[in-house]
Each structure stands twice: as C-alpha cells, then as structure tokens.
C-alpha cells in the first residue's frame, strides 16, 4: 500500500510570490462611498427644546415673574425663530428628572443641539448635568426670569458648567436668543 501524499498545511513559500486581492479599501459593489459626517449637525436640523418641572403651569400663575405666555406660546416662539434658521424644534416638558434625562439620551446622535430650561432642577439636578455632559453638541440653558436676582438658592446652576452658554432674564426673548445662538454655533 502506497502512503497518500501528506496534505500541505503550511508552506514556506515566499509571501511576495502570492497574488492577493487588494484589501486596502473595501467597497460594497458599486455603492458610492459617502464620507462619514464629522458632527450630527451635518445630518440633522433637529433642536431638542426641554422644559422642566412646573413650567407646564406657565401663564396660569405668577405672571409678575413669568409673564402671561403659556408653555405652548414659548414653544411657538422658539419654533418661529428656528424656522428662520432652517432648524426644527422638538419640544418636551416633564416634571420628572428621569424623563428629562431620557430625552437628553434620546438626542444623542439624533439632535444637533439642546435648549433646556430645567426649572428648579437647575439648582441641584446633577444627573441632568451628567446626561448633558454626554451630549455632543451645543447646549443652551435658558431661564425666563433671572435666577441670580432672586433667592440665594437659585444663584447656583449645576447645568451652567456643561452648557455652551446660559441666557437668563429676558423672558420669551431668551428663547429667540437661544435659537440664534444654536444656529450660530452650528454654522461654525
Ligand atoms: O426663570 C426660569 O425660567 C426658571 O427656570 C423657572 C423655575 C425656577 O425654579 C428657576 O429658578 C428659574 C420655576 C418654574 C415654575 O414655573 C411656574 C410657572 C407658573 C406658575 C408656577 C410655577
């Protein structure tokens, strides 16, 4: 009986002799190669507008501090400013910290910027601070009143350190300014 020739499992053939397919650049058949956008702003015109606790009561009480406009009026004001800059406002209000955090998480990789009036959470909600810190894009903190001119406990903002900037004390005009600031930042 003749022994079968041993199967070659390895060879010391010089690598340079072997013809290999060029794998330096992988293409999916005939699809155009699109460069990866550097920032979400290149693919999204969405601006998340968040309102925190009790701001659903705007227009109902304390008109001497917050005016007579309702939350819907504030959102409409921001939306009108956004239209001028080809931006789209997605607005949410919540009285729950966790729900606001979920909205911030949901904006990651989807929204170009965030405008937030965190209400009284401004002054102590470190979890919202952390969530905003994980968002890549401009963050504008906006307040209708000027908390720095009110009770001492309102003088601290735990949101300001992770915001691109803060706009306070200009009432509804603060929302217009916030949208303009976002548009300027996104334009580079
Ligand atoms: O000035 C702002 O926009 C505030 O974020 C409003 C918060 C306050 O805790 C911040 O210090 C500053 C409070 C919102 C409460 O809104 C109400 C509106 C009408 C009636 C009752 C509360």
CATH number for the segment(s) 40-187: 3.40.50.9100
| pTM check: above 0.75 | yes
**Per-residue buried b or exposed e for 60-91, using 16+ beta carbons within 10 Å of the residue's own CB:** eeeeeebbebebeebbbbbbebbeebebebbb
Q: Is the CB of 185 under 6 A from ligand 1?
A: no
User: Is 66 one of the catalytic residues?
Assistant: yes
Atom 18 of ligand 1: nearest residue by CA position: 58
Q: Is 119 in the pocket of ligand 1 (CB under 6 A)?
A: yes
Which two structure tokens, joined as six digits, stand for 49?
């507008």
Catalytic entry in 51, 66, 74, 175: 66
Give the model's pLDDT for residue 22.
Answer: 47
pLDDT in tens, 129-155: 999 999 999 999 999 999 999 999 999
Sheet with strand 46-51: strands edge to edge: 88-93, 46-51, 113-117, 139-143, 165-168
The ranges assigned to domains in the chain are 40-187
């Amino acid at each position: 009986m003749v022994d079968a020739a041993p199967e070659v499992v390895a060879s010391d053939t010089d690598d340079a002799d072997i013809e290999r397919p060029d794998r330096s650049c992988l293409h999916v058949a005939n699809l155009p190669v699109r460069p990866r956008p550097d920032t979400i702003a290149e693919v999204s015109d969405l601006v998340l507008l968040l309102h925190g606790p009790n701001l659903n009561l705007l227009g109902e009480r304390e008109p001497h501090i917050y005016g007579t406009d309702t939350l819907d009026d504030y959102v409409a004001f921001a939306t009108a400013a956004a239209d001028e800059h080809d931006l789209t406002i997605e607005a949410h209000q919540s009285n729950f910290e966790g729900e606001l955090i979920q909205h911030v998480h949901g904006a990651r990789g989807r929204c170009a910027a965030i405008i937030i009036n965190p209400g009284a959470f401004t002054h102590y909600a470190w979890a919202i601070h952390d969530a905003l810190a994980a968002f890549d894009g401009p963050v504008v903190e906006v307040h209708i009143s000027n908390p720095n001119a009110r009770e001492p406990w309102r003088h601290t903002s735990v949101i300001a350190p992770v915001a691109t900037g803060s706009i306070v004390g200009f009432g509804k005009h603060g929302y217009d300014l916030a949208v303009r600031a976002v548009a300027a930042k996104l334009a580079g």
